[in-house]
Structure 1
Amino acid sequence: MNQPIVIGISGGSGSGKTSFIKKLRSVFNEEEICIISQDDYYRPRDEQVADAQGVKNFDLPVSIDDEELIYDIIALKDGKTVTRQEYTFNNETKTPGIITMKSAPVIIVEGLFVLHFEKIRKALDYSIFIEAKENLKVIRRIKRDQLERNYPLEDVLYRYENHVMIAFDKYIAPYKELTDIVINNNVNFDKGFEILVGFIKSKTQ
């Protein structure tokens, strides 16, 4: 078996990464692609850095256990299966499940900081950056954090202004110019998605 191809997908919060990944899952099965999400590697809440107002900041690279993430990426590249408990962002209404990731010909690594972490960046064969206008990202973030994470609106807006935007400018946007493909998601990401699907099919069929 040839070593899997590893593709990193990054972009700001609300850019559409999750929707992009969901659509990939609908096209390919687990024998064809393996998707590993940075979101499942957040450190416990009591280890997160708090800002001057005492609000935990999950939008910093240090909020992620990057060593465990790269360890699992390497394991998947070596053909191994990885299991991990889902991270629920302290949403009391959601029970975390167990995620099983099986190695496949194409491994997708998705998350805010996958290009910022040097070890992870070096493990990638290709990289993709998904971008969108700021107002669209805010709207998407509000919808996600209220529906999926049970965060109040005031909290979502505070985090976006004081954590998300600062993190994007410092830890995410600088890597856009280094990526192989930039996908515009102001209206939709269909064209960029089709290109990636065609590439993955060429590697899995």
Structure 2
Amino acid sequence: MGKTTIIAIAGASASGKSLFASTVYQQLVAELGSDGIAILAEDAYYRDQTHLSLEQRQLTNYDHPSAFEHKLLAKHLQQLRDGKSIEMPQYSYTTHTRLAETIPVSPGRVVMVEGILLLSDPELREHFDISVFMDTPLDICLLRRMQRDLEERGRSISSITEQYQATVRPAFFEFILPSKQFADLVVTRGGQNEIAIDLIQSKIRQLLAE
């Protein structure tokens, strides 16, 4: 299969990570075919909380590094680099815990992973060939987050704003923003920065050719 290039796309919640990843993905599929690319989401690696009641799960700080099972994510990234398939967990935003089902992910020449705290973890950083940080103003992120959570996750305005003030915003300044220093590329204007996408494409081609 050749060398595997692992790309991390980090940044604040609703900063445009998913849009950026999907745009890069579509272009890579056109070049490599869908079998050559694997995509992981850090959110899938939220810790299993089936041992807790729903009320207790709602108290979890989902913006803190301890909420994620990063060691499992690191293990899966290494397995994909070694040419082995993995079973990626699935997480429910409704029940706030993992589902019983997993998603099989086959290794590819390009592995993309997106999430808020990827660059804050030293062990994870060792696995990334390219690290991208989406640098989007917090007010834009908040507006996007409100629209997403209202339309897709059934949240109320009050619950969104309470969580944002209690955990999302503090975690951004404590963990996410400081991790920007570890990015190879800082991307402005959300996920629609075509120049940044072209730069990533060029670097991927270079790494794959080595």
Q: TM-score, normalised by structure 2?
A: 0.84
Match for residue 40 of structure 1? 44
Deviation at 1:38, TM superposition (A): 0.5
Unaligned segments of structure 1, at least 5 residues: 49-53
Match for residue 118 of structure 2? 114
Instruction: Check whether the contact 1:15–1:185 (CA below 8 A) recurs between aligned residues.
Output: no
Instruction: Say if 2:201 is the partner of 1:197.
Output: yes
**Letter aligned with residue 182 of structure 2:** L
Instruction: Say if 2:11 is the partner of 1:20.
Output: no
Identity of aligned residues (%): 25
Deviation at 1:133, TM superposition (A): 0.9
Unaligned segments of structure 2, at least 5 residues: 53-57
Match for residue 168 of structure 1? 172
- What SS does the corresponding residue of 1:197 show, helix, strand or coil? helix
Instruction: Check whether the contact 1:136–1:186 (CA below 8 A) recurs between aligned residues.
Output: no
**Letter aligned with residue 12 of structure 1:** A
Counterpart CA distance in 2 for 1:91 and 1:27 is 34
Instruction: Say if 2:146 is the partner of 1:149.
Output: no
- Runs of 4+ more than 6 Å apart: none
Instruction: Say if 2:188 is the partner of 1:184.
Output: yes
Instruction: Check whether the contact 1:15–1:131 (CA below 8 A) recurs between aligned residues.
Output: yes
Q: TM-score, normalised by structure 1?
A: 0.86
Instruction: Check whether the contact 2:4–2:208 (CA below 8 A) recurs between aligned residues.
Output: no
Deviation at 1:155, TM superposition (A): 0.8
Aligned-residue RMSD, C-alpha: 2.6
Mapping of 1:8-157 within 5 angstroms? 8-29=8-29, 30-45=34-49, 55-90=59-94, 98-157=102-161
Higher helix share: 2
Deviation at 1:91, TM superposition (A): 5.6
- What SS does the corresponding residue of 2:91 show, helix, strand or coil? coil
**Letter aligned with residue 127 of structure 1:** S
Counterpart CA distance in 2 for 1:171 and 1:113 is 7
Deviation at 1:109, TM superposition (A): 2.0
Match for residue 55 of structure 2? none
Match for residue 4 of structure 2? 4
**Letter aligned with residue 116 of structure 2:** L
Counterpart CA distance in 2 for 1:143 and 1:45 is 26
Deviation at 1:197, TM superposition (A): 2.5
Counterpart CA distance in 1 for 2:114 and 2:78 is 15
1:97–1:145 CA distance, 2 compared to 1 (3 A): farther
- What SS does the corresponding residue of 1:2 show, helix, strand or coil? coil
Deviation at 1:22, TM superposition (A): 2.1
Match for residue 51 of structure 1? none
Residue by residue, what CA displacement relative to the aligned partner does 1:45-65 show, whole Å, maximum 9, x if unpaired?
4678xxxxx733211100001
Residue by residue, what CA displacement relative to the aligned partner does 1:20-63 show, whole Å, maximum 9, x if unpaired?
12223322333232111101000134678xxxxx7332111000
